[in-house]
Each structure stands twice: as structure tokens, then as C-alpha cells.
Amino acid sequence: MSMSKILTRVKRYIGELALRRHFAVLLQMVRSDTSPIPYTTTHAIPLDFSFPKEFKIADFRGLLFCHTLKGDQANKLTSYWLDKESFRLFADRFHRKLGLASPEFQGSLLDVECREKPWWKPRELLSGREWVLAVFALVGAGLGLRDYAAVLFAIPDVAVVYPDAGHANAVVGQEFAIPLTVSSEVRFAPVTVSFRSASIQPESRGPTVELSVNPQILPNLTAAQSQSITLSGSAPQRSPASVTPDIYDLIVTGDSKAGIISGIILGRRTLPIPKRELWVWPAKPVAPHPTFSRAAGSVCELDGVAYISKSYPQGLPAAFALVAPAGPSQPNVHHRRFQQ
């Protein structure tokens, strides 16, 4: 099939759609109780008649559309007007513009019957305004379905972080509290977060110490929202022989759920909680025996490390006694204050 034939068929199809749309407007006007009654006229035209290039429907207020009819013996032109008054006002100008004589027939349109299309067949072409409304309606419906589908099928995505880097600190026998921040990465659906347990376990795999979690359940964590929970407990006793802080592993377990249906099918998802250490310090400064560094005259310097749980504004007072063998020189006792 040549390109010219394809273009001819496309133009014919577009013209048929436009004509059907114009008749649909007439049908709507006839069936409406409030709309004016359309008015139609029929004129005889020459066999070689064609619409002038400068002819425009918009130049004749009330003219809906017009078309030509080809017969065996003669051709006709039919025009459709909003009502009889519109035709009466613009009839002379319309006839002069197209070179028409008085109409052979004119009258009001009383009734129109046409074949109803099944709902599954494509509709006629829409106007620009209808296309815009249709697009906005589809977008609104899509957004609504997305939000509702998220409530049903959302997969939980929760981040759990400690607010500060490094390890947590506690003093033996005293209460401590460790904050934990929980945030949701799920859009358009709330997330339920539950913490099952929290405990500390020494690295030597000794007995586990349970901690309390407050609050234990976050029932409605929305998108981009963060909430804090607190892990609290009492620092366990230390080994008397130990001089360094005791190190415990902080173990927290929990799960989350988002969508209603996904929660039933997939169950609850375990929370990815990062590892954190808890260092338990002695209540009083503890220091092992210092080592000899150097001696100069009557002064002797010692090196040592003192383990403390908190800072002391006055520093750390400490006294060392140096005992020398019996001899001409008497032992010096040197008192020294360590500053933190």
C-alpha cells in the first residue's frame, strides 16, 4: 500500500471521528430539556463545490458544523445551527460566504437515534479539556491505589542506630541508660516495631544480665519519623582481681511489621541492630603497681596507669614510698599527684 493511500485513509478516519463527535453533540442537545433546539438547513451546491480556505465556523456564531453530501444527480450542503434564531441572524453572511442560494429545506431537529456502543469498545476522541481531566483522574487514582497498596503490601524497612559512636560506659553497681534511635524508611505506610529483649553478656561468656526497654513497642512509626527508646539497667559487679574495665556485649533483639497482607504472608522481619560494647568501670580508681622509669640524684620516676570511671576536678592523689637499701644515704619518700 502506497504512502498516499495510507494518508488518505488516516484523513478519512479522522474526518469520520470528527463528524460522529458533532452528531453526538446534536444528540445531547436534542435529548436535553434545557438546551436550545438545533436548527438545520439544506442547500443545493454545484458539483465542483468546495469550502473556501478563508471559511471558518467560528465566524458564524451559533453554527455548529456543516458538511456536503454527494448524490447521483446533485450535491447538497447541510448546516447545523444552535437554534433557529442563530441561523436567522447569520443566514445572509453564511450564504454570501459560500455562494449559496436560499435553502431548499430548513427546520428544527426533533429527535436523533443512533446505535449505542458497548462499554468495552473504544470511545470517541476526547477534547483537550477532557484529556486533561482524564489524566488528572488517572494520576489521582494511581496515587490513591499506591497509598492503599502500601498499607496492604509494604515491606518493613527500619533503621536502628546508637546516637554516638564508640562504646557505652557504666560504673559498677550504678544505674545506666543507653539511648537507641529507631527510624522508618517505609513510604506511605506505618510500621510497628517491637523489642523482644535486651541484655549484656561479658566477652568471657559469663552470665547474662537482662536490661529493660522503654518503650518496648512503637505501634505507629510513620515514614521518615524517628523515635528514641532507652535501654537501662544496673552495672554488674566486677572481678576483684581485674584492674581494667570489664567489657560486655550489648545484645538487643526485635522485629518489625508494615503491610497487613505482607505481615501475614512474610511474618515479622528481624531488626538489624548494630553491635555495641558496654565498659563497666570500677567505682574507685584502680592502678597496678607502677614500674621503675629512671633515677636522678635523690629523685626517682615511676611509670604507671590508673583506671578511673569518671573525671576528678582535683586530679588523682597518689603517694609512693621508695625504699632504698641501708647505706649512707637515707631513702627518699616522694609524693606525687597525678593529674587526669
- CATH number, domain at 37? 3.30.70
Read off the pLDDT of residues 107-121 as tens digits, 9 standing for 90 and up: 988 777 777 767 666
Predicted confidence band of residue 317 (pLDDT cuts 50, 70, 90)? low
The total of structural domains in the chain comes to 3
162 shares its domain with 103: no
Of residues 170 and 241, the one with the higher pLDDT is: 170
271 shares its domain with 299: no
Of residues 111 and 35, the one with the higher pLDDT is: 111
DSSP assignment of 253-276, as one string? Answer: EEEEE--HHHHHHH-PEEP-PPPE
Of residues 303 and 248, the one with the higher pLDDT is: 248
Percentage of the chain exceeding pLDDT 70: 71
114 part of a folded domain: no
Angle subtended at Cα 265 by Cα 260 and Cα 268, rounded to the nearest 5 degrees: 75
63 part of a folded domain: yes
Among 75, 108, 141, the domain boundary falls at 108
CATH code assigned at 233: 2.60.40.3880
27 part of a folded domain: yes
Dihedral in degrees, nearest 10, Cα atoms 101, 105, 108, 112:
-120
pLDDT higher than threshold 90 for residue 106: yes
Rounded CA-CA distance 250/200 in Å is 5
180 shares its domain with 252: yes
329 part of a folded domain: yes
Cα 250 to Cα 66, 122, 164, 210, 295, distances in angstroms: 86, 65, 14, 10, 46
Read off the pLDDT of residues 187-231 as tens digits, 9 standing for 90 and up: 777 888 999 999 988 877 778 889 999 998 988 888 778 889 999
- How many residues are present in the chain? 340
Among 66, 87, 108, the domain boundary falls at 108
Domain span at residue 62 reads: 13-108
262 shares its domain with 297: no
Q: What is the rounded average pLDDT of the residues 33-56?
A: 88
Phi first, then psi, for residue 11 (nearest 5°) are -65, -40
304 shares its domain with 274: no
